[in-house]
Structure 1
Amino acid sequence: MSSTFLRLAGAATLAIALSATSALAQKKYDTGATDTEIKIGQTNPFSGPASAYATIGKTQAAYIKMINDQGGVNGRKITLIQYDDAYSPPKTVEQVRKLVESDEVLLTFQLLGTPPNAAVQKYLNAKKVPQLFAATGASRFSDPKNYPWTMGFNPNYFVEGRIYGQYILKNHPNAKIGVLYQNDDLGKDYLNGLKAGLGDKAKSMIVTEASYEVSDPTIDSQILKIKDSGADLFFSATTPKQAAQAIKKIYELGWHPVQILDINATSVGAVMKPAGLEASKGVISTGYAKDPADPTWKDDPGMKKYLDFMAKYYPDGDKESNFNVYGYITTQLLIHVLKECGDDLTRANVMKQATHLKNVQLDLTLPGVLNNTTPTDYRVNKQLQMMKFNGERWELFGPILEDTGATG
């Protein structure tokens, strides 16, 4: 009797233990994830005024193909659904609704551009769909209190602008600054950050400001206005098309200001070459990634992985384009987050893993530039290094700068 009871009790205990283990190991899915698939959605300007960025989406699709060829993430293949929004916010709204309501993606990844992301931010947060690593650095995309489902990837524009302001104070304290800025959150964040960096001297040092719309065919009149103001330092808070136009026009005018350009418009292929390599010589900006054209990295393991990837999966792409470097970096970080999710592929867990990045070093970020996030600090990139264009490629200079101050 006693031994029978003990056997039954032992069996019951074992059954409870196995049940608990099974519960712990149970897979969790939200819409867009199964045992075999993870569906991700994206809009990109494959056409329109910002189509220079299209290659980013092509690199990201190629990277995901490589991951799928390697077996996927935790045994699941990734389906990346991409739509062209032509950098037009109304089109972004239409396409993102389709991704969420018709395609039923688990998350959106790297929606590109400040106005497009702004147009769908409230919708995605209301739906509790991750707006993950949005391709923008505007402050509103690193605001976990108001938008917990939105996380930008790019360095914060306000903070980057503040870094430029501090650089100008130290190296060009008597400069007369003329500013060209895109008339949206991108341009305004840069302008406000610049003013914050200049502090009390902003009013006296900034002699003129000129804005433009993304749809404007040229910015010639704005450049003439800035030149006529007597400015001897030109700050360009622009995207590739207008950045190239500005550099080219300044060169044609025989005007020789110090030129500082935001990080979004530093592509050699999409900006410097169209503007003219000689015209672009001496332009200053910031970076956080290795440059494939820089011989410093020729024996770097991460660079070798990137070049091998480009040769096999995106042979038509420009391996020296920093846009393709960006596409590689962002997708590598996405894969890191998905791997960390394990078998809990819920939208809430995607955001949990993305907001708990700890010293993540990617193949193509500069040594010492690490990705760290917390539930109260969504900024992925908080470290930058100054760089100058030498007529062929960007050359890094100075220390790695970290600005973790307020984001405007």
Structure 2
Amino acid sequence: MRRRAPTVKPNKSTKLIVALAATAVLASACASNRGDDPYAVAVGGSGVSADLASSTSDAKFGTLDSPCGEGDATGATDQGVSDTEIKIGFGDDRGYVKSPGLNKEMSDAVNALISWCNDQGGINGRKVVGTDYDAAMTQANSVMQEACASQFMMVGYGFAMDQTAEQTRVACNLVSVPGFTVSPDAANGPMTFQGVPFPVDYANGSQWFQMAEMHPDLVNDFDVVNSTMPTIISSTTKIRSIAEAAGFKLKDCGVTLNYEGESSYVPFAEKYKECGAKGIWTSRSASPSELNFVKALDQVGIDPIFFGEATWYGATVSDWNKDTGLLDNLNAGMTFQMLENADKVPAVKKYVDLVSEQGGKTALLGMQAASSFLLWAAAADECGSDLTRQCMVDELSNIHEWDGGGLHAATDPGKNMPATCGLMTSLKGSTYAQAFPSTAGEFKCDPKYLVATDKSTWGTELGADRVSTKYQNANVIKPQS
């Protein structure tokens, strides 16, 4: 029997503020009735989650009633679906020789959640059978070709070179709920829904607005590190427009770093010193090359705020800083709850417990994969016996408030829209802490955090439905409800 589509309900200590963006796309901002800040959000994420009260299981994931449980679903309704099983693919780039174990936390999370779900009886009684793929950076298309031949869907995965696999995925109508996307065509791809969307045409600019609140005297003293990598060039261009929307007037110190590394970073650090930069943004993650650049800043005698995406929140960075202390000036913007807040946020504790029980690695991307798995499971539960890719597209396109049970700020997966909330982390030695807002476990939300990006930065053409047109074909599965 088909159950009603998920609805949303506010947490007792929070309320939902609905803001209409300029393009008539619904975005969510959150407010709290605790404290003086009307945009502070209480612990447990956005306070918004899918209400799956009809679930046959009493288990919960944070604020989310479990979508898993016993049932009597029947029928070989689609590829990879039988009376007893649902086959899904997932994976990461852990076999990449230059970075062994790359993003392994994603597979660890999905493996743990599959076990958690099957322990409750699966999805409506069907066992979830996962195939754990290793794209090893350069094998994403080969992986997708294999998945096309056997899997019902791809769920909670993340491949750094997803642009090489997107044409294959769309051609075989493999509906996808990835943990993250990288390329523009995948980020706005057909038949793709993410727990934490990262579309090309809208961005969550919370980190820049919050940095402006934290350091209003420095809005004219930041610069962005340029790169030779095409994807980072595109990202940097977008970041400049977001920073401008937040009130920054960025410097142009003329620094472009070779993605493959430089023989010495000192000359580039000297440029920032001469330019008077007191804050530096990087769109790269914490690679050895980027950490060598941080060392060079210290060598020339400057200590600017070092500012980046959530990829700078993790054990690699904290372990390195424990020995050097050179990133005690680090800030990283996030729309996820911190792992350090597990004692305050039940969903984070649940994630940590499930993954740790299986000896897996806990990290931010793991929580991202977990959110997408839960999103997939919620939709699959609603489909009941009618578990087809068409039903999944219909259900996923109708989920417009999602926080993974409290893992992150509320997003709109159905419309592929990011959150309008965020928090800022800081690092001291090997310890991360929440720097903004001041109360750990709270986000700050504001409709202005949703920034429409310049079309020149998209990297792909979008149709009227905001879906990439590059690999569209007559057989693409589209929502019918």
TM-score normalized with structure 1 length? 0.76
3-state SS of the aligned residue for 2:326? helix
Partner of 1:150: 192
Hey, what does 1:257 align to over in structure 2?
A: 304
Shift in CA distance, 99/291, structure 1 to aligned 2, threshold 3 Å:
same
Deviation at 1:75, TM superposition (A): 0.8
Q: Which residue number corresponds to residue 40 of structure 1?
A: 88
Quote the offset at 1:45 in angstroms.
0.9
Q: Which has the higher helix share?
A: 1
Shift in Å at residue 109 of structure 1? 2.1
Q: What amino acid maps onto 1:73 in structure 2? A: I
Q: Structure 2 matches for 1:238-317, cutoff 5 A?
A: 238-242=284-288, 243-251=290-298, 253-267=300-314, 269-276=315-322, 278-294=325-341, 297-312=342-357, 314-315=358-359, 317=360
**Cα distance in 1 between the residues matched to 2:123 and 2:228:** 39
CA positional deviation for 1:251 = 4.2
Q: Which has the larger radius of gyration?
A: 1
Query: Residue 96 of structure 1 corresponds to which residue in structure 2?
Result: 144
Q: Distance in 2 between matches of 1:352 and 1:209?
A: 47
Shift in CA distance, 310/108, structure 1 to aligned 2, threshold 3 Å: closer
**1:183–1:211 Cα contact (<8 Å) kept:** no
Give the structure 2 partner of residue 183 of structure 1: 229
In the alignment, structure 1 residue 337 sits paired with structure 2 residue 384: no
- From 332, 343, 352, the equivalent of 2:394 is 352
Please name the residue that 1:370 is paired with: 410
Q: Deviations over 1:91-148 (max 9, x none)?
A: 11112111212xx10112234244x2111112211221113225126554343xxx32
List per-residue Cα deviations over 1:55-100 (Å, max 9, x = no partner). Answer: 2212221221221222111111111112222222xx1111211121
Shift of 1:39: 1.1
Distance across 2 between alignment mates of 1:200 and 1:347? 40
SS at match of 1:274: helix
Does the 8 Å CA contact 1:109/1:133 hold for their aligned counterparts? yes
Structure 2 counterpart of 1:325, from 355, 367, 381: 367
Q: Distance in 2 between matches of 1:275 and 1:384?
A: 24
1:130 is matched with: 175
Change (3 A) 1:333 1:290: same
AA aligned opposite 1:225: F
SS of the residue corresponding to residue 97 of structure 1 reads helix
Change in CA separation of 1:301 and 1:173 when aligned onto 2, cut-off 3 Å: closer
Contact kept, 8 Å, 1:130 with 1:351, in 2: the verdict is: yes
Secondary structure at the aligned position of 1:129 is classed as: coil
Amino acid at match of 1:266: Y
Aligned residue in 1 for 2:158: 112
Note the residue ranges of structure 1 that are not aligned, 5 or more in a row: 1-24
1:4 matched to which residue of 2? none
Q: How does 1:51-90 map to 2 (within 5 A)?
A: 51-88=101-138
Instruction: Say what the alpha-carbon RMSD is for the aligned residues.
Output: 3.2
Give TM-score, length-normalised by structure 2: 0.66
How far apart in 2 are the matches of 1:234 and 1:212?
17
Q: Specify which structure has the bigger relative contact order, considering alpha-carbon pairs within 8 angstroms and separated by 6 or more residues.
A: 2
1:400 and 1:161, CA in 2 relative to 1: closer, same or farther beyond 3 A?
A: closer
Partners of 2:228 and 2:109 in 1: how far apart? 26
SS in 2 for 1:394: strand
Q: Tell which deviates more after alignment, 337-346 or 130-139.
A: 130-139
Long gaps (5+) in structure 2? 1-72, 438-443, 455-481
SS at match of 1:285: strand
Q: Distance in 2 between matches of 1:181 and 1:110?
A: 29
Q: Do the aligned partners of residues 222 and 27 (structure 1) sit closer, same or farther apart at CA in structure 2, a change above 3 Å counting? A: farther
Preserved CA contact (<8 Å) 1:161 1:192: no
Work out whether residues 225 and 282 of structure 2, in 8 Å CA contact, stay in contact via their aligned partners in 1. yes
CA distance in 2, matches of 1:380, 1:318: 26
* Amino acid aligned to 1:206: D
Letter aligned with residue 40 of structure 1: I
